[in-house]
Amino acid sequence: MPILPIDSGRYGSKEIKRIFEEEQRLLYEIEFEGAVASAQGQVGLIPTYASKEIVKITRSHSVSLNRVKQLELISDHDTAALIEAMSEQCSTRTKPWVHYGLTSSDVLDTSTSMQLRDAFAIIEPKVARLAKILINRAIKYKTLPAVGRTHGQHASIIAFGLKFAVWATEIAKHIERVEESKKRILRCKTLGVVGTGSIMGERALTVQDLVAEKLGLIPIEAATQVIPREGYAEMQFLVALMGSTLDKIAIEIRNLQRTELAEVEEQFRQGQIGSSAVPVKRNPIKSERVSSIARILRSLVGVSMENISLWHERDLSNSANERFTIPMSFILLDEMLNLITRVISELRVNKDKITSNLDITKGQVYSEFVLEALLRKGIPRFVAYREIQRLAFIALQNGRSFLEVLIEDSWLTKGLREDELRLLFDPRIHLGASSKIIERAASLVKSTTRKISES
């Protein structure tokens, strides 16, 4: 009976979960054993007949998960059980050459690298797709003036599309980060008990290079019994970083969906229930779920950092927690990507509300531009600043239009004519370089996502 929501099918796609299922994990380990035997036969470390027989067994699917589990009940050692199950399929003369020169961690760590290789192959196209959807939204709304908020307060005018461009840029950069980090994360080790390749001797590195090439991994430069955990820690950080960007997007959507702002809204289907008590509620539950899961991803970074410091050539203090943290990281990130992609794809943008929100402060959002116009007239900055602030307080206290108060003020109209002031209160002229910024973001997304499509 499932205990965790991952097991029940609530979170994560089938394709990502398949990578971390027991049967698939066993297939990775068997494939690794076959790659090592093939390489060892190629360089003459083990007899050709043994190499061919072992490779044949690894491709035959004759080693079952049930049999490995039966043997593990006796040995209490998962890798030893795998080797025994493989040996059962071998002729007597081949049995001594199964797992030759290897240690359990060679199998376990390299198989984990194979899982990460395939997990990234699922995650990266989803990241690329999200970047494209975001940049398309950015382009669509690149000329729509909106309120830019800092500290939760109205600050100035932005293009609404700029929000999406910022997100698209960082999502695209995550692809760059992952691609650049693979050489440190997707590593292969076949160097035995304490990392010397003692049984295989001088040909140990040649074997490792051949196995790494066959499996699409990077041969480890130096290791103890285990692959150093710095690479796994970097992977966990990258996953948490991607999750945090998705969280950033989700939080902005949640804020913009607040009743008082109502600039965007998650898609709400007919028959969907937002609240069991309040029939009219339309809660941003998908975005909230993204934020919730992001907290788990960030917490796992600390665990991966703790795993770096092992005793001597290794201990087992990392082993149990990695059986949780690594699968959870990718399955939950996959869930977050699926969620936020759906949210952005179906997001309802309320243009009328975006426009009306510009006027909530009765024009005070344009104060930056009034200040700049006075500076151009030669008025010292802090003289102009304090006069504008004085008039803003008057307008606020009396609930009046900021523009009207400015027009009526004798000091201000000495510097700016009424027609000049009125022109400053047109939001369309204050988008600055927004369109060019969005176009640059689009170029980055296009070049970055093309690499994923071509790989």
Which letter, b or e, does each residue of 397-408 get, where b requires 16 or more Cβ atoms within 10 Å of its Cβ? eeeeebbebbee
Q: Are 51 and 38 in contact (CB under 8 A)?
A: yes
Does residue 275 have an active-site annotation? yes
pLDDT score of 454: 64
Structure tokens at 248: 């950033």
**Exposure string over 102-135, b if 16+ CB within 10 A, otherwise e:** bbbbbbbbbbbbbbbbbbbebbbbbbbbbbbbbb
Q: Which of 61, 151, 276, 453 is catalytic?
A: 151
Task: State yes or no: pLDDT of 278 exceeds 60.
Answer: no
* pLDDT per position as a tens digit, 365-390: 999 999 999 999 999 999 999 999 99
Which of 8, 60, 75, 275 is the catalytic position? 275
Residue 398 CA: distances (Å) to CA of 344, 368, 371, 395, 418: 40, 21, 22, 5, 21
Q: Check residue 279 and give its pLDDT.
A: 57
Write a three-state SS string for 113-128. HHHHHHHHHHHHHHHH
Check residue 282 and give its pLDDT: 74
Contact 314, 226 (CB under 8 A): yes
Q: What does the pLDDT look like over 157-195, one tens digit per residue? A: 999 999 999 999 999 999 999 999 999 999 999 999 999
Q: What residues contact residue 445 under an 8 Å CB cut-off, 6+ apart?
A: 131, 132, 134, 135, 168, 169, 171, 172
Task: Report the pLDDT value the prediction gives residue 274, as an integer from 0 to 100.
Answer: 59
Rounded mean pLDDT, 430-451: 94
Give pLDDT, residue 8: 79
Mean pLDDT over all residues of the chain?
94
Task: Give the pLDDT score at 9.
Answer: 80
pLDDT at site 267: 85
Supply the pLDDT for residue 348.
96
How many angstroms separate the CA atoms of 452 and 430, rounded?
A: 36
Rounded Cα distance between 437 and 394, Å, is 37
pLDDT band at 275 (very low <50, low <70, confident <90, very high): low
Ranking 63-67, 165-169, 235-239, 265-269 by mean pLDDT, the lowest is 265-269
272 band by pLDDT with thresholds 50, 70 and 90: low
Region 4-17: mean pLDDT is 88
CA distances from 415 to 53, 70, 267, 372, 429 (A): 92, 89, 49, 12, 21
Residue, of 142 and 9, whose pLDDT is higher: 142
The reported pTM is 0.93
Q: How confident is the model at residue 424 (pLDDT cuts 50, 70, 90)?
A: very high
Query: What are the pLDDT digits (tens) for 303-339?
Result: 999 999 999 999 999 999 999 999 999 999 999 999 9
pLDDT score for 214? 98
All structural domains of the chain, each given as residue ranges with its CATH number in brackets, are 15-97 (1.10.275.10), 104-357 (1.20.200.10), 364-424 (1.10.40.30)
What integer pLDDT is reported at residue 3 of this predicted model?
82
Q: Check residue 455 and give its pLDDT.
A: 64
**Cα distance between residue 329 and residue 243, in whole Å:** 9
d(CA 100, CA 199): 8
* 129's tokens: 């797709």
Where residue 2 falls among pLDDT bands split at 50, 70, 90? Answer: confident
pLDDT for the residue 164: 98
Q: How confident is the model at residue 280 (pLDDT cuts 50, 70, 90)?
A: low
Percent of the chain with pLDDT over 70: 96
| Residue 99 among the catalytic residues | no
Following DSSP, what letter does each residue of 284-336 receive, concatenated?
A: -HHHHHHHHHHHHHHHHHHHHHHTT--STT--STTHHHHHHHHHHHHHHHHHH
Q: What angle do CA 87, 93, 99 make, to 5 degrees?
A: 40
Pure H helices in 189-318: 204-215, 230-256, 285-306
Q: How confident is the model at residue 199 (pLDDT cuts 50, 70, 90)?
A: very high
Rounded Cα gap, residues 337 and 444, in angstroms = 20
